Structure 1
Amino acid sequence: MTAAERNSGPTPRGVMRWPLGLHTATVLVLAVGAAIMILGLLWLALGAPRVEVPGPLKPSDTYDAIKIALAVVAGAGGVVALVVAYRRQHLNETTDAREYEKALIERFGAAAGQLGADQPAVRMAGAYAMARLADEWPQERQMCIDVLCGYLRMPHAPDPPTDDQTLTTWQRERKVRETVLQLIGAHLRDDSPESWQGYDLNFAGAVIDAASFRGARFTGGDIVFAETLFVAHGRDQVIFDDVDFAEGSYVYFRLAEFRSGSVRFNRATFSGGWVTFDSARFTGAQVNFRDAAFTAGEILFEDAEFSDGCVDFSGATFTGGTVNFGEHHLPSVYLTVPPARFCGGTVDFSEAADLTHPPQFGLQALPPGLRLPLGTNISDLP
């Protein structure tokens, strides 16, 4: 069962399919059976006394029998009335549930339509409407999240155009995308009123130039940044500061490109998840893991290419888990993933705070661009 299924509530059921007569007869039989059982228990509790007939029935006895018969009939009528009232209430609740679900479906269609509108203000309103619908509709929350992520995967020029009119259009679309990312990031924090933690997030192929996931907690679900282009401009930053990559999370930066600007993982905690940067390309961005804590889990940089820019691990602590830049064998598929390639970029561990459990490189000679703490020999590392 997925996390989305665990978080979803019950779905409305259809009206009761029993015919009224059968339902009533069943309840009457159960009521009679219950009455007989209670009388039997009382009889046994009283010591199973013998019933003695004093003689011929008197008129008062006949009247008492008639009263008892009328009480039984009244009780049966009450049972029938209760059955009818129950069925009416059940029908009303089912109808209300269907109407509510119909309204949610209509709201989903309206929000999706707004996201596809020409005007950026309408698209932004659609993003807020879809996020609110996801909060109120846990049964289909994953679908709403998929729509928001799908919007980010739509084509978007990574660099601003040169002519003014096209630039204005590009900037407006960029603001809409920032809003979508802001809504998603806010729902991944522990203090979010409605948490989206544990749901899948698919940003594959998206262009991300400004976003904040500060304080988010990735736990459960697949978080996919595969083939994502990180291309911040000017002072724009993509922020993963204070993020907890917790146990149960699967975060993919596979084949992502860090082209320009700043991407920050400062004070991030890698405490048990599986995070992969395999085959990612670091081609000019400043990627900071300053004061990050690597305590458990796996963080993989296999086949990553560092050709420009800088990856800074100043103040980071490596006390557990696996951080691997080296060659990796996959015996299950008989495949060997090549090691990371240092071909122009800088990967700086020289100011790391703790290398109790150092990264794995599998190298005998220090490649250009890789900086280790003073006195550390690359051949002594795994």
Structure 2
Amino acid sequence: MRRSPSPAPVPAAAAPPHLRPPRPAGWWIVPVALGIGAVVFGVAWWLLTSASAPSGGGPAATPAPASTAAPLPSGVTLVQVRSEVLRTALAAGAGIGAAITLMLAFRRQRHQEIAIFHTSHDATERRVTDLYTKAVEQLGHGKAAVRLGGLYALERLAQDNPGHRQTIVNVICAYLRMPYTLPAPASGPVQDPPARPAPTLNDRWLHPPTPGNEETPLPEQPAADKTDDAEGERQVRLTAQRILGEHLRDDRTPEERDSGQPADVRFWPGMRLDLTGATLIDLDFQHCHMAKAQFSGAVFTGDARFDGAVFTGDARFIGATFTRRALFDGATFTGDARFIGATFTGGALFDGATFTGDAGFVGATFAEGFQGRDVRVLRPDRFHRGRSVRRGDFHRGRRVRRGDLR
């Protein structure tokens, strides 16, 4: 059983929008009731004061001034007027009560919608957590095919859930950081194991089959299993690198990005990589965008392609080893670029690269020279040179003297 990568915390999805918890209803029921009563009383008072009392029929509750009082119509008594006033006031109170009831119904409906939203959100989070946990467990399986399935499951999960992408990228990087030794090339053709000779009649007579040994198969060849496992692990690692490269790559031109053209839906912006000490095989990160990249101590077997890559944060290649060519043509280092103590066994190509922050090559070794035509260094005083076995052709807005990188 393989060791699973370093356990990463279960990804936390984007939290639902903050909603104010409903307040207890008790504190506003009494004010509302008092308000309705005040409205009913006010309407009744206003209507009663507007009605005039008859001249001799009895005292009015609140007679209106003579200048503004209107005489009662014939056949209408003050009792009838008061009844109509009371009915009108109660109707006004009932209307206000109906409005409050409608508001309460809306509040109840809103509460139900919020509850349904949270229930759906929780169900989605449980499903994502289950898929994530199962995929991480598959990465620790002994069979390469199962590990490949785990990688593809994580890729799909990250594509469908942007809030989990950084966590899933961390898991893939953790897998690539696990110790790995490249399989040794075969020294000769692989020979089939010798076949077991068929038993003769004498063998069957002298050694009759007994329960437990009549059909004993030949043991599996451990060497072949190790070879197959090493090749399977190589394919798993290549797939992990391909997943990172495909989703970090932004194929838009600078003009398209400046014009606001949207990126491809498969592009994952703002990802941070930690591949410290990883063994990377034919890494292809052309035109990839990384918020922060940590490759310190990594071993790049085969060509390492960072053509047109954009490092918006610090890029650290401290002590990294490039066994073949390291291609950084057109790369942009917005933050600090640290190649301190790096070993470039093949060519180091930085044509057209841009260094905005500090560029450190102190202690770096260039076995086949440093090629950097049209390199832009915005802070020349912060460009620290390394050692080169052969002369490097380096430009910093001008052609520098021979031996600048020795």
1:60-80 CA-partner distances (Å, limit 9, x unpaired): 333323322322232222222
1:276 aligns to 2:317 (yes or no): no
1:255 aligns with 2:306: no
1:313 to 371, 376, 383: 371
SS in 2 for 1:230: strand
2:298 aligned with 1:228, yes or no?
A: yes
State the secondary structure of the residue aligned to 2:334.
Answer: strand
Q: Percent identity?
A: 22
User: 1:290 and 1:199 mapped to 2: Cα distance?
Assistant: 23
User: How many Å separate the matches in 1 of 2:224 and 2:372?
Assistant: 41
**Counterpart selection for 2:97 from 73, 78, 90:** 73
Q: What 5-or-longer segments of structure 1 have no aligned partner?
A: 1-7, 40-48, 327-339, 360-375
Aligned residue number for residue 392 of structure 2: 349
Distance across 2 between alignment mates of 1:124 and 1:227:
26
Offset at 1:122?
A: 2.0
Matches within 5 A, 1:95-110: 95-110=119-134
Segment drifting more, 113-122 vs 102-111: 113-122
Deviation at 1:181, TM superposition (A): 1.1
Task: Say which one has the larger Rg.
Answer: 2
Match of 1:324 among 383, 386, 391: 383
**How far, CA to CA, are the matches of 2:355 and 2:19 in structure 1?**
54
For the structure 1 residues 211 and 127, does the alpha-carbon distance in structure 2 shift closer, same or farther, using more than 3 Å as the test?
A: same
List alignment gaps of at least 5 residues for structure 2.
Answer: 1-11, 53-77, 187-222, 251-262
Aligned Cα root-mean-square deviation (Å): 3.6
Give, in whole Å, the separation in 2 of the partners of 1:261 and 1:231: 7
Name the counterpart of 2:227: 167
- In 2, distance between residues paired with 1:206 and 1:136? 27
Contact 2:13/2:164 (8 A) holds in 1: no
With structure 1 as the length reference, what TM-score do the two structures score? Answer: 0.70
CA gap 1:23/1:66 in 2 versus in 1, 3 angstroms = closer
Structure 1 residues 19-38: aligned runs within 5 Å:
21-22=25-26, 25=29, 29=32
Matched, 1:54 2:51: yes
Name whichever structure is richer in strand by fraction.
Answer: 1
Whether 1:119 aligns to 2:179 is no
1:154 to 170, 178, 194: 178
Whole-angstrom distance in 2 between the partners of 1:377 and 1:194: 45
Distance, in Å, in 1 between the alignment partners of 2:392 and 2:384 is 13
- Whether 1:289 aligns to 2:349 is yes
Give, in whole Å, the separation in 2 of the partners of 1:88 and 1:213. 48
Residue of structure 1 equivalent to 2:164: 140
Contact 1:153 1:205 in 2 (8 A): yes
TM-score normalised according to structure 2 size:
0.66
Aligned pair count? 313
For residues 198-247 of structure 1, give each alpha carbon's deviation from its aligned partner in whole angstroms, at most 9, with x where no partner exists: 232100111012221111123x3x31001101122xxxx321122133xx
Contact 2:13 2:125 in 1 (8 A): no
| Offset at residue 116 of structure 1 (A) | 1.7
- The 3 A distance-change label for structure 1 pair 71 and 377 is closer
- SS of 1:273's partner is coil
